[in-house]
Amino acid sequence: MTAVAEWGSEPVVSPGRVDVCLVNMPYASLNRPSLALGLLKAILEREGIAARVVYPNLGFAEEVGLPLYHFCSSLFPKEYLAGEWTFAAAAFPDAYRDDEEYLRRIAGAYEQIPGYHRRPSDAIRLQKDLRKLRQAAAGFVDQAARKALATGARVVGCTSTFEQHVASLALLRRVREIDPSVVTLLGGANCESVMGRTTHRNFPWVDYVVSGEADALVGDLCRQILAEGREVPKERLPTGVFGPAHRRGAARPRLAVLASSSEEVPRPVFHDLDSLPAPDFDDYFRAVGESRFAAAIRPGLPLETSRGCWWGAARHCTFCGLNGTSMTFRSKSPGRVLAEIRELEERYGIASFETVDNILDMAYFKSVLPALAEEGNRRRRIFYEIKSNLRRSQVEMLKRAGIIWLQPGIESLHSAVLELMEKGVQGWQNVQLLKWCRELGIRLTWNLLWGFPGEEDGWYAEMAEWFPALEHLQPPGGASRVRYDRFSPYHKRAQDFGLALRPAPAMRHVYPLPEPDLADLAYFFAAEGRPDVFADSGSDLMQGRPGAQAVRDGLNRWNHAFWSGPPALTREDDGAVLRFTDTRRCALEESCEISGLAREVYLACDDAPVEERLKPALAGRLGREESEIGVAAEDLRRRHVLLRIDGRLVALALRGPLPALPDPREFPGGMIEDGNQGWT
């Protein structure tokens, strides 16, 4: 047992001492360190508490192989809880679960899982792979627990986000069995609000559960635990922490400043982001260096520049539950962002950053981005999530700043669907962004969603008709049915949308809990009377939905055309004649020229004007009849170089020469390469 530091004005960490061991369990990404644990370690070390981060997720990948780890961490629809199921027997060894029923349902849905959707025999392979992962989990948990305890830490804590919860519960249970004197700790997104309270109530081998942002409380909490173990009184626990003392009395945990009106559970929020230290990723790079996959892993660095969502605070997207019970937007000052980027870059020799922000701070267009552009670091590659209704000049600034990869949150090209989502953007704006990003060589990650309460299938049929004209632009990865996630408006105001929600059906195959506890623990939900990805096959989900099926079929063709070509629609203008090169499948001719009125009409559509305003404006400027403008526009639309959408005319041809898009191996968040296979 190691000595506890003496607390004074100058915290000191003794060499070799470890007070707190922080654990990153499967199925966390292998190609980047845990930002949460790297940040917590830096905070603890600053306060004189010796901390170490261990990465058993790397060890599990070594045991089962990279492809199988990737299969479970990335390819499964989240509602299947496949990662959680593989560790359920290790976490709850005495519980009864109908595993064969789970596997039967999984096999019935094989068509929805990339890599397993080509032939019926893949259903059997799918079941075998899941069984292999589960069989490996039990022995692995014991090894991981012993490695965590070998650090000598008196506190072992796990972070839990998405499908880390059951693996973390299994690890902490085994830690308790091996050394009952060690105090266990659990936090992360899966512990927020009522989920944290339910976790603490049902799994007694977890001593302390933290709900919410732990930045301001983790030092004080660990200091008290190191001094008093499990005996910290309720009244001295930081807001948002469930401890052993809460199990000994009837009193409920203290309410936080921010709490759900219906759930009344703690959720602290941290505001002073500039006061945080740069995260410490040393343990991750040490673990990667010692891994037999060291040559296969090309790490990226996670970067946090803000928390919350400024758009969600104004109009919460109906399907989004990512910010939990607080949308409050907080961002780091420009100076702090730039300093952290430079510090991490210098420390780890890596210039690839995947920001974890839900949305880009628009003020950065006048501060952070120009500064990054001025540095002119051509090695630097950055990923950001953005709101899609940007101006072209803003997209150009992103590229100059080294932001080569974006997730723009497009989700649909049809404005009626976007309005149901409360996205605050229209379809024509999304098409414009697709166009500009292709012209500038910025790679996009985006997906189409369908299945929203109140939608009309005809909207999807209409959208599918646009796809052939867009196949020279970056396509979405696919079309997915919308999920009902905790903290989203669909969950918080289910009745307003005509939804009756229940925990995702896979929950009962994972957790040995009664239905009310499953409802409080679940993040994913299913709706009564609506198709469910776990209960229905892919074809059943779209039964009676020809429009949605047309979208899915059209996206398959779009993806095949773009990534095997891609087709081109480019333009050259010499001031008198506009020349098009068009190799899309919908092209009427591979090359053509327009001049005079047709050229004027086309160039006027570059900014996607409202069609009814364009006609009188051009007629007055050119001295032509409005009907002539309409005829010219219709001819261009017939050639598929103009798209009529939202009452606007959008010019589709790209200004060349076109730069190459970043290769997948250049993804700023890192890359795994295993032979001929690779994934981010």
CATH number, residue 239: 3.40.50.280
Give the CATH number of the domain where residue 416 resides: 3.20.20.70
* pLDDT on residue 541: 74
- For residue 387, the one-letter residue type is K
* pLDDT on residue 644: 98
Statement to judge: residues 640 and 536 lie in one domain: no
Confirm whether 192 is domain-assigned.
yes
* pLDDT on residue 277: 98
> Which CA distances in Å does 433 have to 403, 417, 478?
15, 18, 18
Statement to judge: residues 48 and 185 lie in one domain: yes
Statement to judge: residues 62 and 194 lie in one domain: yes
CA distance 109 to 117: 9
* Nearest 10 degrees: Cα torsion 346, 350, 356, 362: 70
- For residue 205, the one-letter residue type is W
Residue ending a domain, choose from 513, 534, 567: 567
CA distance 37 to 52: 9
Residue ending a domain, choose from 529, 547, 567: 567
Question: How many helices (DSSP H) and strands (DSSP E) are in the chain?
Answer: 25, 27
Six token digits for residue 345: 């870059």
CA distance 305 to 360: 8
Contact present, 461 and 550 (Cβ < 8 Å): yes
CA distance 520 to 58: 31
Confirm whether 602 is domain-assigned.
yes
CA distance 7 to 238: 18
Is the pTM higher than 0.95? The answer reads no
Confirm whether 288 is domain-assigned.
no
Statement to judge: residues 429 and 459 lie in one domain: no
- For residue 652, the one-letter residue type is L
For CA atoms 548, 551, 555, 561, give the dihedral sign: positive
Six token digits for residue 118: 């080509």
Statement to judge: residues 634 and 514 lie in one domain: no
Closest CA relative to residue 30, chosen from 52, 9, 5, 55 = 55
Statement to judge: residues 402 and 499 lie in one domain: no
Confirm whether 89 is domain-assigned.
no
* pLDDT on residue 251: 43
DSSP, res 294: T
* pLDDT on residue 256: 34
* pLDDT on residue 121: 87
Statement to judge: residues 623 and 645 lie in one domain: yes
Total domains in the fold of the chain:
4
Confirm whether 458 is domain-assigned.
yes
Q: How many CB atoms lie within 10 A of CB 139?
A: 11
CA distance 121 to 171: 34
Question: Which residues does residue 381 pair with via DSSP β-bridges, in sequence order?
Answer: 352
CA distance 442 to 439: 8
Classify 404 as helix, strand or coil.
strand
Confirm whether 178 is domain-assigned.
yes
Residue 240 φ/ψ region, left for φ over 0, alpha for ψ in the -120 to 50 degree band, beta for the rest: left
* pLDDT on residue 354: 98
* pLDDT on residue 253: 39
Length of the chain: 680
Contact present, 629 and 618 (Cβ < 8 Å): yes
Helix (H) or strand (E) run with residue 225 in it: helix 218-228
* pLDDT on residue 531: 77
Statement to judge: residues 420 and 487 lie in one domain: no
* pLDDT on residue 108: 83
Statement to judge: residues 167 and 35 lie in one domain: yes
Residue ending a domain, choose from 519, 539, 567: 567
Tokens 């880390």 appear where? 164
Q: Where are the beta strands (DSSP E) in 164-267?
A: 183-187, 208-210, 241-242
Confirm whether 121 is domain-assigned.
no
How buried is residue 445: exposed, middle or buried, by Cβ count under 10 Å (0-12/13-18/19+)?
Answer: middle
Q: What is the mean pLDDT of each run of 10 residues along the chain (680 residues)?
A: 31 73 97 98 98 98 95 89 97 92 87 80 91 96 98 98 96 98 97 95 97 95 97 93 85 37 69 98 98 96 97 94 86 98 97 97 98 88 97 98 97 98 97 98 97 97 98 95 95 96 95 96 93 65 89 96 94 96 96 96 97 94 94 96 98 95 95 83
> Which CA distances in Å does 427 have to 32, 137, 320, 550, 612?
34, 45, 19, 18, 18
Statement to judge: residues 34 and 141 lie in one domain: yes
Statement to judge: residues 507 and 580 lie in one domain: no
**What does the buried/exposed string (b/e) look like for 98-136 if buried means 16 or more CB atoms within 10 Å of the residue's CB?**
eeeebbebbbbbbbbbeebeeeeebbeebbebbeebbeb
Range of the domain at 619: 569-655
Confirm whether 464 is domain-assigned.
yes
Statement to judge: residues 216 and 169 lie in one domain: yes
